[in-house]
Structure 1
Amino acid sequence: MQVKNDPKPDILRIEELVLKVKTGDIKLPKFQRPFVWKKDDILALLDSIYNSYPIGSILLWLTKEKLASERKIGDLDINERPEEYPTNYLLDGQQRLSTLCGALYWNGDNPKSMWNISFDLEREEFIYPNGEEKPHYFPLNKLLGTFDFIGQCKKFEYHQNKDKYEANAGRLLQTIKDYKIAAVSIGDMSIDEVAPIFERINSTGRRLTMVDLMRAATWSGEFDLNDTINSVRDSLSNKRFEDVSETEILRNISSCSGVGINREDIDKLRKKVPTDLIEASEKCKKAYELAVDFITTELPVCSYNYLPYSLQIAFLVDFFNVCPKPNIHQRDELKKWFWRTAIGKSFASFNSAQLSLDLSDFRDFANGLLIEPRFEKSIHFEGFAFDDFRLNKASSKTLGLLLANKKPKSLLDGTPVNIESALSVVNRHEYHHIFPKAFLRVMGTKSSLINSHSNICLLNLGNNREISDTKPSLYFSELTERLGDKLESVLQTHLIDEEAYNAALRNDYETFIRSRSAKIIEQAKLNCGI
């Protein structure tokens, strides 16, 4: 007896397979990864087919579910079949099928296209012609059409190797047309049942994300989650927040629709009608614009890449959706909340239940039911000050923001440090070890202490290079002459007090690091409102 999900194998010639794509009988679901093959991979596949080597089967999912799908596979436009379901969605074989469709149906517009492939009839190999036109270069997009094939053969009609070229062109045509591929079809399964199958057979091991599944599950002629996410990102590009995580955008679409931001909440979107999804998306976009404006004007965050935790923006977007015009007190409390969650590593690990409770409290604050967001997690300020500095680490990003918030001035000349340059991307050239690493290694200092947050400051690139590995006692002794009566005010912008300054003059790292860590902790507590 055959069970409902029993795979059904079918053997299809390449020409039949490509035709199924062209007519829309086979579609590429939008949860598939992009086309990633390189030119060498493409040529290798075509060579395997020409030599009748096996290239593996493809896996299709035959379903009545109407999912978001790509409008092209390779360079081939896919016909819409709105009334003809069930449809075959391609689960495995995208790179191979895209190669065949792209090469055989290249439109000829761009000579540099990766689909501009010819078969060298002289050497019997697939090549990229690179603009060269030779009689024995047979373009693959001239292969399947009868008149195109005849017209191409006429180009070597009077060539001395005519017989060889005709024979090889005929063999190429028959091989491509008659090569058979096993197409295995599964059916009568929901998208949630299909997801683990896709994950298992996917050659990269890429797991389907919430966004992948919901993109497919919520698609309609009126609503496309992918377009919505891109629209939100585009609206934030002028603030350098176009890289905001698509997962966080999905969370906020869910919250703007009236539910939560956890996976089980997001799953409820599949039951929403398109008009509700569109309304939620519009609210989400407006809330993102307000949240990012707040982040970039009232906090020293110059780009999404320097946000310590992506969930911070998810919470702020939810707040601005509920309260688009917060008063001064609320804005001040939001800033304290930002520093507390960043320094306290609130979103480094979390569970769904706690996240729901925190979001509920945050909404109460937005609705004016609380005078401040609840924050019960203890903050380890000393651990923050002595943490190991590493680019892209959340706590180190937070340190960069803490230092940037002081509007630092370069130690050697007192000019303002270009904060936008330092924080718009994670830029190692704008960070400086006050006690140089090479000097501390010679002194036998432990690596963890060398890279301590308390040994890091922000400098312009030129100053950083000038100081390089110079001993602190040497370049600090020049600061009085260079900065004059501005010395103290410049040092304060780097959270360096008199004790730390004098310790640097003595190359006394132990005293310096103890004193500066105290200033960092003091500033961190001030920012947190503690």
Structure 2
Amino acid sequence: MLGTPVISSRPRWSVSRIKFTDWRTPVDNPEPRAQYLNVVLRQIERTSLRIPRFQRHFVWTERDVLELLGSIQKGYPIGSVLTWKVDVSDDYFAGYREIPFPAAEDSVTSFEVILDGAQRLSSLFGCLRNSAADPIYEVYYDVHSKDFSHKSSLRSIEPWHIPMDSLFDSRRFLEVQSRISDLDDSDELLPRALELYSTFQDYQIPIIALSNAVLEDVVEVFRRVNSSGTPLSSVDFVRALTWRSSFDLEETFEEFAERYQATPLEGLTEDFLIRCLAITSGLSIDSRDIVQLKKLSNRAQGLASEVVAMRSALDKMAVFLDRFNITSMREVPYEIQRLLLFGIMHFDVNVSAEKIESWFWRSTFAEEHQSKPESYVTRSMREMQKGNVAPVLEVRKPIEFDLFASRPRRVGSAVTTGFDLLLRKSHPRSLLSGKPVSSFEGMHGILFSRSMLEREDGHATNTGLLANLVLLNAEDAAEWRRLQEFSTVADLFNVCQDSTGEAEAIWLSQGLRKPSDESPMDLLRQRSEELLNRVMP
């Protein structure tokens, strides 16, 4: 429904939360002000309010735009806008985003750049002042239904459809009123049109401006503030750092994304790449340290050598991860694991691939890197830079060998991801036909039903335990479910043996020995130990 606030009405941040205690000149107290929407639109037209190029492109959907307009029409708050007062002499920006905003006027020497709120202000300026910029901004208000719609969704434009870009154009709005007054129900519709006009004319937007702030201060503000909506990240600010050199960070990231498609590094995030760039530049991954990339980017060669080193380490990392049959970065459970692997490749530490692989499995199943701070990565990088990799590969948390018999499948968890990789590494075969089965296309079947998994204490356990799940192709999955209604696991093993003659090898591909007299839970524990022993002997 329209009218739901797009942005939370709680304050974005409070002045008291922002304190700077280092050697830099303190930032002036932020200047909050409430400005009428028409004043904000005029500022944008005069280009005294701009979107810097390091800001993300317009990413809102048609629904987002309509909900924003609906929020204003109902008088809901849409959240504050955070800006940064700068002068041309500050030389921070090499360009500004246009469409729907106008091109920056060179004659305007003092202006504000939008740090938080670019999506909202782009939507408002596009819909109310520059709808020709993109069809997403061509919005009409139906005074009959009191709904907003995009032009593309309307069969025809009727007299009761008010183009939103007429609300701040007096002549056009008079024409709208004239058309509505010719309708039979004009007595009812004209007041609605005037109410819409008044609501948008009288609407105020809270704007908070940072003054006397350098880029490091602005990064620190965003590090400390949790902003709703679509907030900026350190990636956006590092883009700003590099616009002044010949090095274009955005193009570099696009090149990496293309380079590593269909490799284990597919899906690299910009945040990860920023941290990798910091590592090759000899910096920590803390956002307060990353801004030091600015100094390096201003060198004659910019960050060219750091990018070359980064590419080399990523290439090695892709080759290494291929041994796990990993298809994308999402399958490396922890961001810390990814960064440590990058560091190992970058610093070229003296350690065998087998030891790194063992560390990967152990740290995954021990959930070693859960909730570890960024400072841990920084310390680890320092150790590797000195050639000391032993502390990095140390796994302190214990791993129980019945792990898979006690953990239910939970998509996205480290143990579940590791279990899937382990099965994939084992080249599983479907348990009835023996045909190879992919973990991507295979279907999960269960070994034991809930009643069969009754515990010693009399309570049934979860049938979704990892060790209770097997991979089957589509044909086998249907037959497996049918046979399970009247067959034991031993019976299913025998069906496989009768049809293939190699049931032991087929079932062992998924860590299952030939069933005997053991209880269901004992068999699951045995399977868990069998699988873990393959990578952690």
TM-score between both structures, scaled by the size of structure 2: 0.75
Distance 1:199 1:351 in 2: 15
2:76 is the alignment partner of 1:62: no
2:73–2:200: 8 Å Cα contact kept in structure 1?
A: no
The equivalent residue for 2:497 is 480
Is contact 1:333–1:373 with CA below 8 Å preserved after alignment? no
SS in 2 for 1:457: strand
Are 1:77 and 2:93 matched, yes or no? Answer: no
**What is the distance in 2 between the residues matched to 1:25 and 1:153?**
33
The answer (yes or no) to whether the contact 1:454–1:520 under 8 Å persists in 2 is: no
Task: Say if 2:202 is the partner of 1:185.
Answer: no
Residues 503-526 of structure 1, C-alpha deviations (whole Å, 9 max, x = no match): 4xx7x2143134323322321224
Residue 407 of structure 1 corresponds to 427
Deviations 1:35-89 (A, max 9, x none): 476355234234247xxx87776443323563698714xx513423578554313
Q: Does 1:493 align with 2:517?
A: no
Unaligned runs of 5+ in 2: 1-25
Question: Which string of whole-angstrom CA distances, capped at 9 and with x for unpartnered residues, describes residues 459-513 of structure 1?
Answer: 33443443235542442332221221x1121122122234xx224xx7x214313
1:305 maps to a residue whose letter is: R
Pairwise CA distance, 1:251:
1.3
Given the alignment of the two structures, is residue 304 of structure 1 paired with residue 329 of structure 2, yes or no?
A: yes
Q: Which amino acid aligns with 2:398?
A: H
Q: Tell me, in whole angstroms, the C-alpha distance in 1 between the residues paired with 2:336 and 2:121.
A: 38
Return the offset for 1:410.
0.8
1:375 corresponds to: 393
Q: Provide the C-alpha distance between the structure 1 equivalents of 2:533 and 2:147, rounded to a whole number of angstroms.
A: 70
2:71 aligned residue: 45
**1:62 partner letter:** K
Q: CA deviation at 1:101?
A: 1.0
Counting only pairs closer than 5 Å after superposition, residues 112-123 of structure 1 correspond to structure 2 as 113=136, 115-120=137-142
Deviations 1:427-479 (A, max 9, x none): xx644433244642599775667554433433334434432355424423322
* Deviation for aligned residue 1:232: 2.2
Q: Is the 8 A contact 1:382 1:521 kept in 2?
A: no
Distance change in 2, residues 1:264/1:122 (3 Å): closer
Residue aligned with 1:272, SS: helix
Alignment check: 8 A CA contact 1:59 1:93 kept: yes
Tell me which moved more, 175-184 or 16-25. Answer: 175-184
Cα distance in structure 1, aligned partners of 2:80 and 2:400: 58
Question: What letter corresponds to residue 61 of structure 1 in structure 2?
Answer: W
Does the 8 A contact of 1:248 with 1:311 survive in 2? no
- CA spacing shift, 1:78–1:289, aligned 2, 3 Å: farther
Determine the C-alpha separation between the residues in 2 that align with 1:374 and 1:237.
29
Aligned to 1:245: 269
Quick check: 1:502 aligned with 2:516?
yes
Structure 2 Cα separation of the partners of residues 149 and 343 of structure 1: 65
Task: Spell out, residue by residue over 1:102-160, the C-alpha distance to the aligned partner (whole angstroms, 9 max, x if none).
Answer: 2124444765x3x2212346677644452322233232235545776688788789877
Aligned to 2:535: 524
CA distance, structure 1, for counterparts of residue 292 and residue 225 of structure 2: 27
Q: How has the CA–CA distance of structure 1 residues 82 and 135 changed in structure 2, closer, same or farther, with 3 Å as cutoff?
A: same
Three-state SS of the structure 2 residue aligned to 1:77 is coil
Equivalent-residue separation in structure 2 for 1:121 and 1:330 (angstroms): 71
Q: 1:359 aligns with which of 369, 376, 381?
A: 381
Specify which of 409, 414, 417 is matched with residue 394 of structure 1: 414
C-alpha contact (below 8 Å) 2:445/2:471 kept by paired residues: yes
Higher helix proportion, which one? 1
SS state of the match for residue 412, structure 2?
A: coil
1:281 is aligned to 2:294: no
TM-score, structure 1 as length reference: 0.75
| 2:356/2:393 contact within 8 Å kept | no
Q: Identity across aligned pairs (percent)?
A: 21
Unaligned residue ranges in structure 1 (runs of 5+): 423-428
Secondary structure, in 3 states, of the residue corresponding to 1:338?
A: helix
Decide whether the 8 Å contact of 1:257 with 1:276 is kept in 2: no
Are 1:68 and 1:224, in contact at CA under 8 Å, matched by a contact in 2?
no
